[in-house]
Amino acid sequence: MINISKPIIGKEEIAAVLKVLKSGMIVQGPVVEKLEENFAKYCGTKYAVAFNSGTAAIHAGLYTLGIGPGDEIITTPFTFVATANPILMQGAKVVFADISEDDFNIDPKEVEKKITKKTKAIIPVDLYGQVYNYPAIKKIAKKYHLKILEDACQAVGANRGKARAGNFGDVAAFSLYATKNIMSGEGGLITTNDEKIAEKCKMFRHHGQSEKTKYEYFDLGYNYRMTDILAAIGLVQLKKIESFSRRRIQNAELLSRGLKDVKGLIIPKIKAEHRHVFHQYTVRIDKDFGHSRDELIESLKKRGINPGVYYPKPLHLHRHFKNQGYKAGDFPVSEQMSKEVLSLPVHPRLRSRDILYIIKTVKGIANEK
């Protein structure tokens, strides 16, 4: 089966974990600190702070921006639920804005329509591994004095111009979940150029304690610490990131060349000046394809290819957001995209022959009328 993802765990990752286990220092310690140092260096930011998940990183990011009850945060309904849940965790209100078909991400014009006196921040997502359209959203944020939290959980290594993901907001959040471009099993980091934000993040992940003073609690915090065991995996993966990204990009280019003329199948658009690192290679299957998206999935599975759908239902149609008053029809583009998107395997363990097989199989199904 050609699966949608497969973590790459080499001898180096195993050796690094064993070294930590044998050291006896297995919780947050020097390896987490090294990961933070190297991650910040890679992203080109002054600071990185590690967490035990990307969700925790987003939660901490919102906390450091001062988000709390009564505040409204604008984000996309077409994302993983962990983009929006931390807004609720901070007692604030989730305000969705519809997406554009081009990059499947919030449309700046829709964002501006949703701004009220209570709006405090925007969370754009670098979806599928491509940095969001920041110039437009930054203009809006400046005009209305809003903060930006960049959800870069899917985009480590992506660029816009010379700047890497992690540089586009007041604070950014990454995930090292097992299926991400680099991973540590579970894990996450924030990046920022603001020392105060970095310090507050360190307190938030450690029950509100400063790392300098023990058993003195400055505010409510959580246990969001990463372990040295997992940081050891992340550190090794970080060394391999460029080779992983190059392979993903090559695989994506091959897919696009092979699929660009298939009627009813729309290949991903790469924005000018962007380096898309293809966490997902996501196409759209529209009515001209001759089969529905879900029929295509079934046919692919029968032929040994296991694709993914990110995301089959926009967030506003899930119960805990519906309870806030959202309903079907509120975000027509997101709803349409959730019926059309299909992610084909693109991960770095796939060789050209696997990619050529995917192309041949999709084309074969397209011709079965």
Q: Is 153 in the site for ligand PLP (CB under 6 A)?
A: yes
Give the number of other Cβ atoms within 10 Å of residue 250's Cβ: 16
From candidates 55, 75, 227, 338, binder to ligand PLP by CB under 6 A: 55
Residue pair 182/156 in contact by the 8 Å Cβ criterion? yes
- Quick check: is 287 catalytic? no
Alpha helix stretches (DSSP H) within the chain: 11-23, 30-43, 54-64, 85-89, 108-113, 134-144, 195-204, 228-259, 293-302, 319-322, 332-340, 352-367
Helices (H), ranges, 272-340: 293-302, 319-322, 332-340
Taking CB under 6 A as the criterion, which residues in 109-138 touch ligand PLP?
125
DSSP string over 172-197: EEEE-BTTSSS--BS-EEEEES-HHH
- Nearest distance from C-beta of residue 87 to ligand PLP, angstroms: 12
Stretch that binds ligand PLP, among 147-155, 241-249, 295-303, 337-345 (CB under 6 A): 147-155
Chosen residue from 47, 63, 80, 244 binding ligand PLP by CB under 6 A = 80
Task: Output the smallest distance, CB 315 to ligand PLP, in A.
Answer: 11
For ligand PLP, the binding residue among 71, 72, 150, 151 (CB under 6 A) is: 151
Give the interface segment with ligand PLP, choosing from 9-17, 52-60, 112-120, 241-249 (CB under 6 A): 52-60
- Please give the residue whose beta carbon sits closest to ligand PLP in the complex: 54
- CB-nearer residue toward ligand PLP: 53 or 167: 53
Question: β-pairing, 159-160 with 163-164?
Answer: antiparallel
* Residue 191: CB minimum distance to ligand PLP, A: 14
Q: How far is the C-alpha of 355 from the C-alpha of 252, rounded, in Å?
A: 9
Cα–Cα distances in angstroms (integers) from residue 173 to residues 42, 100, 179, 218, 276, in the given order: 14, 22, 16, 23, 17
As measured in angstroms, the least distance from the Cβ of 55 to ligand PLP is 3
Decide: is 365 part of the binding site for ligand PLP (CB under 6 A).
no
Distance CA 205, CA 197 (A): 12
* Piece of 12-20, 47-55, 87-95, 328-336 that binds ligand PLP (CB under 6 A): 47-55
**In the chain, what's the furthest Cα-to-Cα distance?**
69
Judged on CB neighbours under 10 Å (0-12, 13-18, 19+), 287 is: exposed
Does position 278 interact with ligand PLP (CB under 6 A)? The reply is no
Count of residues that bind ligand PLP according to CB under 6 A: 14
State the burial class of residue 296 (Cβ atoms within 10 Å of its Cβ: 0-12, 13-18, 19+): buried
Structure tokens given for 316: 């506003």
Catalytic option among 117, 120, 162, 180: 180
Placement of tokens 């405090």 in the chain: 120
Answer yes or no whether residue 344 interacts with ligand PLP by CB under 6 A: no
Q: Indicate which single residue of 175, 184, 282, 334 sits in contact with ligand PLP (rule: CB under 6 A).
A: 175
Is residue 79 near ligand PLP by the rule CB under 6 A?
yes
Catalytic residues: 180
Residues that bind ligand PLP (CB under 6 A): 53-55, 79-80, 82-83, 125, 151, 153-154, 175, 177, 188
